Structure 1
Amino acid sequence: MPRTITNLAVIALLACAALAQAPSDSSIRQFTPALKSNPQFNVYASPVKVQVSASPPSFAASSLVSTGNGPAAKDPAVAAKTDIAIAYLNTQHGIPTENIKITDAYVDGATGIAHVYLRQVVGGVQVANGLANVNVDRSGHVISSSQSFAPLTGLSSSTKSRRSAAQNSAVGSLVARADAEVSLKNALKSLTNYVQTSVSDADLANVVVAASSSLASGEPGFVLSGLPSQVAAKGSSTAQQALIQTSDGTLVSVWHMVLEQDTHWWSAHVNAETGAIEAINDWVSHAEAYRVYPKNVNSPSEGARSLVVDPANKDASPNGWVTEGSTYGNNVWAQNNPSGGDAWKSNYRPTGKTGTFDFALDLTKQPKTYIDAAITQLFYTVNVMHDVTFAYGFTEAAGNFQDVNYSGQGAEGDYVVAFAQDGSGTDNANFATPPDGQNGVMRMYVWTETNPSRDGDLEQDIVAHEFTHGVSNRLTGGPSNSDCLYDGEAGGMGEGWSDTVANLLRIVPGMTRSTDMIMGKYSYGQNIRSYAYSTSLTTNPQTYKLLDSPAYKEVHSIGEVWATILYEVIWNLVDACGGGIGDVFTKDLSKGNCLALQIILDAMKLQPCNPDFIKARDAIVQAESNLTGGKYKCDVWRAFAKRGMGPGASATGGSKHVEDYAVPSGC
């Protein structure tokens, strides 16, 4: 950041050997058996007319009423359509009517189409994933359907014995069986182990198992009560006997267990014989939502906060951003750090109830009063930076910051440790970039130039600047070498790239090459650079020759020159592409601003360790050629030449910079 403020954006190029690694992402995998005979959705060009028996099966009809569907279930028009659906499955798919149970049926008022949903039953026991839906038009013809009923030849020997028991006795009588309580408790223990809230043997011994005929599903089953609150929010779980077909169509006996917790509501099918989890689903939708200044709002001075829902890029962050409902995950751990220091795992983080991080923010008060909002904003912005740079090539193989590398490439265990309102300094920010496999560390400070003080966590260009240090250090010289942008022109370009990427994120439709940008205005109250970034030589007169000046020997000063030159490159590409400004987060390379970001990151990978301006320029020219075949080569050269870096520019030993305002022949 500014030369007048010392050590801002200091790049700690040490090995960070003392930082411990965090546990891997503990998100719980949800799944259901992938059936070998994947059900097809049949859409009929000519609707199928089905002959209904004069006496429809009583089992199916009575089951419709028992589901509690209300008046619609008893509506004769609906009942007639359910008879058609049953007859269709029987005649078209050879499914015996005694194996069909209607779960839901209704007529859509707008289309007149009846939607009938059915489940397979075997000996009175429901098959969890033996499902069908049949859609019947106004005329009583089947227009489409799908079914995944298991072939009855798939019954295993253990299932057959349980089927016989179910046929010959009421569910309630199962309680009398010697192994019923043991089987249920074993299933409960397997489930709690799987969802990582294990119940102790002592607590399990106190669990009471009782039969019930009034579960929420309307079916008889069991209630397991006396569970600790950390295991079950209401102290109990329910279970029902069921069958489930495995991937090869074999039916196995399971307990369908429902376990409600504070932030989860598990629906699991647990093998009644082995305790294996055969399928599990969470009824709680864990959509991530953040009340933040979104990615197109740089700071509180430029717009309002909004609730952003599920912002994670699925390629970069396939499991989302959050682990276990707080501001830590695969890409970044964000937390408060009022006393400074290096510890982070036990530091304070806000909790988002059911995945929503929505906290109050009163900017008329001191930053410490809105720490939850600040941490949330920092977590959001760092994740945005992770995802957008991933899209442009800062991937796992290239050394990005992730706890788990899903591709198996690169070193993992190195998410960013991001400290909000860090107490080790003020009016500042920095980022430490050790080699790939060790955590990057970001420290964001409170700025004291205004009253009340302002929080740098709320200003995107500062966070983006810091994160880009990690990008440029990992991409230059390879992810295992963090010593390539240490000092001099190389270190200065590190600062310049950070400003450039921050600028690129702020360029939105409506801006033109006459748009000027300043850094850190919200936090500092004014520009923290000597000049605004501008394509006007009057507004910003900085050129390559300034590197000879004693005032331009410090890395931030050098960085200003480099970022100014790259600002020219950006706008030349925007104008040359002719398609206006694109959303940089969508990576539309037909737009000049997106193309510029891609070229800049590609060039970092091409350039040598400890590059100077000339080598970095040549890498950008090569990156453009690699990407477009040289389509915009002259536009890039004109940008460099405007600021004295034409093909004849040179330097000797870090001094005596010779400018060249010409462009190559052919341009």
Structure 2
Amino acid sequence: MAVPYPAHSKFSTHRSRIVGRDVEIETYHPATTYETFGEGIDHPLSKRADSTIKDSAIAFAESHLKVDAKGISFKSAFSGEVTKHAFLRQSHDGIPFANAVANVAFNHDDKVVAFGSSFVTPKSITASTPSITVGAAITAAEQSLSGKFNSHPATLEYFAKQDGSVVLTHVVQIQNEEHGTFFEAFIDAHSGELVSITDFVAKASYRVLPLQKEILTQGFETLTDPQDLSASPNGWHNTGTTSTTTTAGNNVISFAGSSQGAVSSQSSTGLNFVFTQNAAVAPNSGANIDAARVNAFYVVNSVHDLTYKYGFTESAFNFQTNNFGLGGAQNDRVTVSVQSTAGIDNADFTTPPDGQSGSMRMYLWDLTSPRRDGALENDIIVHENTHGVTNRMTGGGTGRCLQTTEAGGMGEGWSDALAEWTEHTSSATPDFVLGQYVINDPTGIRTHPYSTSTSVNPLRYSSIKALNEVHNIGEVWANMLHNVYAALVTARGWSATARTDPTGTAGNVVFLHLFIDALPLQPCNPTFVAARDAWIQADINRYAGANKCTIWKAFASRGLGVGAAGFSDSSTVPAGC
């Protein structure tokens, strides 16, 4: 009898979701190839001083994949401190593919340092002129996904299917505010069938919890002018054209429930937002709701400024109303709904493409009496906000490139890892627990604390074979990153000013640079192995490989060594380490 493929064999190419009226959709993403090139290799236009990043990227992909340049379209690009990134798509008859993409990274010597591709060789491809109208496609999508078309312009794109065929699709965005869903639907432009989806949802003076504090029992403080003007040049309450005296500004608007008008106004003139939370009464009583809105506004702005300093800028597809002419699409500040009534005992973040607002919803938790407010637990807010960073920076601002089970799991892991990073206050790397406050349990909401001790946290690369849910898979990745962080801090020391000063070679500074640098280097829908390789390449790009062995040893200690593949462990490190 034939042995069925284990479920984990599809983690890098598939993901199943229940959507709409109990419809299960298994989405497909062509397998990705990924290569890194250390100090870099030449591309076909290397000797041309006038070549653009667009021309160079297309020429390299054409040469490396041995495809005609007519079958490659340019999506986007940006230049960071140490690398330049171009994002490409396969195309046919001038129409791009949705899920056959490539990314090329160049160092500032104009050499290619990384290349990822999910280009396909179609067995068949349908006609490039639609048989059904966009209107008919919208109707089909609304019916299948139990939502409404949100008027975002529809596109026409090809979609590569698992059987090797390629179909023409109308691509439309469908939302259901009541149920908190936000999908990108791919409707066959000839048959009207729902082919696939992108799920965009990843489940002045201020009295707040400072960013390095995890939970409110550590104590609120009143912080004066915590904004970083090098990241938010007009502060947190000015878009460049409009000033506010509420929890609304260029980077974020924080409000209660579903009404963006339900913001908190200053408690006194001079942009003072000082509201004292009373834990003995319900979260929506007295000043509690103001305290929640202000804390969420502060934390999301702080994460904006922190990640901006390390490379999540306008041209790298961040979230701002006004991009000040620095690239990227604007009018997409983060919207934060505190005490959202759309759910309970959870939180989520929706990441549509660059130019559409990221949306965070923070829920109440009902495991205690009175209930507790997730907007008052900083690690949960940072976790959700990080989904926006990783979804935007992986794949060039599309929001489509962490959609497989494995990549989605790493998305959860990155979010936990950045939440942990913000809360370190010394060179020590103690075990980290997420979500203690909301459930009133020191063990938190994960299966294990993140730890360098294998007896405290035994999770390894091979553990994924027994897992099938993105948060559980994410714990494996987050614990690996915990070990990488600990190794870097042990080797390089710790900087107390890392949140505002990204210079120097302290271990926590190095960690966050590599965290951010690796995101655009890695391919769309990366695997653990590809993400690890992107970290190693990021270290070469920024630090000339100075941390290579430290990083390899940390990954290998949890099974992600040189020979790791197919969720089988390897503890091997490269020669010389």
TM class by smaller structure: 0.5 to 0.7
What SS does the corresponding residue of 2:216 show, helix, strand or coil? coil
d(CA) in 2 for partners of 1:512 and 1:533? Answer: 14
> Does 2:379 correspond to 1:464?
no
Aligned to 2:88: none
d(CA) in 2 for partners of 1:443 and 1:415? Answer: 14
Confirm or deny: 8 A CA contact 2:222 2:274 kept in the other structure.
Answer: yes
TM-score of the pair, normalised by structure 1 = 0.54
Confirm or deny: 8 A CA contact 1:584 1:593 kept in the other structure.
Answer: no
What SS does the corresponding residue of 1:368 show, helix, strand or coil? coil
> Does 2:572 correspond to 1:662?
yes
d(CA) in 2 for partners of 1:485 and 1:644? Answer: 22
Confirm or deny: 8 A CA contact 2:247 2:263 kept in the other structure.
Answer: no
Aligned to 2:525: 610
What SS does the corresponding residue of 1:584 show, helix, strand or coil? coil
Aligned to 1:377: 295
Name the Cα RMSD after superposition: 2.1
Confirm or deny: 8 A CA contact 1:487 1:555 kept in the other structure.
Answer: no
Matches within 5 A, 1:123-522: 288-301=204-217, 303-322=218-237, 323-337=243-257, 340=258, 344-352=259-267, 353-369=269-285, 370-479=288-397, 481-509=398-426, 511-513=427-429, 515-522=430-437
d(CA) in 1 for partners of 2:548 and 2:525? Answer: 24
Give the CA deviation at 1:596. Answer: 0.4
What SS does the corresponding residue of 1:412 show, helix, strand or coil? coil
Paired-residue identity, %: 43
d(CA) in 2 for partners of 1:561 and 1:454? Answer: 28
Confirm or deny: 8 A CA contact 2:365 2:439 kept in the other structure.
Answer: yes
d(CA) in 1 for partners of 2:560 and 2:492? Answer: 22
d(CA) in 1 for partners of 2:207 and 2:358? Answer: 25
Aligned to 1:60: none
After superposition, the Cα gap between the structure-2 partners of 1:502 and 1:308, relative to the gap in structure 1 and judged at 3 Å, is: same
TM-score of the pair, normalised by structure 2 = 0.63
Give the CA deviation at 1:451. Answer: 1.5
Give the CA deviation at 1:315. Answer: 1.4
> Does 2:150 correspond to 1:18?
yes
Aligned to 1:532: 449
d(CA) in 1 for partners of 2:233 and 2:524? Answer: 32
Match of 1:632 among 534, 547, 550: 547
d(CA) in 2 for partners of 1:16 and 1:581? Answer: 48
5+ residue gaps, structure 1, are: 1-5, 8-12, 21-287, 652-656
Q: Which amino acid aligns with 1:621?
A: I
After superposition, the Cα gap between the structure-2 partners of 1:446 and 1:310, relative to the gap in structure 1 and judged at 3 Å, is: same
d(CA) in 2 for partners of 1:441 and 1:482? Answer: 13
Aligned to 1:151: none
Give the CA deviation at 1:525. Answer: 1.8
What SS does the corresponding residue of 1:307 show, helix, strand or coil? strand
d(CA) in 2 for partners of 1:391 and 1:421? Answer: 30
d(CA) in 1 for partners of 2:363 and 2:572? Answer: 44
After superposition, the Cα gap between the structure-2 partners of 1:580 and 1:536, relative to the gap in structure 1 and judged at 3 Å, is: farther
User: Which structure has more RCO (C-alpha within 8 Å, separation ≥ 6)?
Assistant: 2
Give the CA deviation at 1:584. Answer: 3.1
1:375-398 per-residue CA deviation (whole Å, 9 max, x = no partner) reads: 000100000011001011000000
Give the CA deviation at 1:589. Answer: 3.6
1:95-148 per-residue CA deviation (whole Å, 9 max, x = no partner) reads: xxxxxxxxxxxxxxxxxxxxxxxxxxxxxxxxxxxxxxxxxxxxxxxxxxxxxx
For the pair shown, the structure with the greater C-alpha radius of gyration is 1
d(CA) in 2 for partners of 1:627 and 1:17? Answer: 43
Give the CA deviation at 1:579. Answer: 4.9
After superposition, the Cα gap between the structure-2 partners of 1:474 and 1:309, relative to the gap in structure 1 and judged at 3 Å, is: same
d(CA) in 2 for partners of 1:16 and 1:416? Answer: 22
Confirm or deny: 8 A CA contact 1:581 1:592 kept in the other structure.
Answer: no
Q: Which amino acid aligns with 1:374?
A: A
Confirm or deny: 8 A CA contact 1:508 1:582 kept in the other structure.
Answer: no
> Does 2:455 correspond to 1:545?
no
Confirm or deny: 8 A CA contact 2:341 2:363 kept in the other structure.
Answer: yes
Q: Which amino acid aligns with 2:515?
A: I
Aligned to 1:98: none
Q: Which amino acid aligns with 1:662?
A: T
> Does 2:495 correspond to 1:584?
no
Q: Which amino acid aligns with 2:419?
A: A
Matches within 5 A, 1:17-166: 18=150
Aligned to 1:281: none
